[in-house]
Amino acid sequence: QEVTVEVLEHLEHLALVDFRDAEGVERLRKAIRFADLLQEVNTEGVEPMDSVLEDRCLYLREDDVTEGNCTKELLKNAREKVEEYFVAPPGNIPLLKLEEQETFLQGS
């Protein structure tokens, strides 16, 4: 399956991932090839599962916080932030305009 500009733009917005460089586009192409292989697996007669652990009893545990108070340290990783929140595109991952993506894809 060909990676079109529209598919690239849609995936970037959904996943908040930047596929601008050749490495990112190649990683995406490999993922698509792998997904295509999965489509070839014969699953006829196999019941869908909710979880790989659906036959086990899962117990809840207490959520013990062992670390914390590191908001300032974590926010140092943000290219752009508002109050105590990361800003998603176009702040942290600047996305290419549609015509820039077409130019990039033609060069890869």
Classify 68 as helix, strand or coil.
Answer: coil
pLDDT in tens, 19-56: 777 777 788 888 888 989 998 999 999 888 888 887 88
Give the pTM: 0.42
Per-residue pLDDT at 44: 93
Q: Are 103 and 1 in contact (CB under 8 A)?
A: no
Confidence of residue 101 (pLDDT cuts 50, 70, 90): low
**Triad 21, 24, 30: Cα angle to 5°:** 140
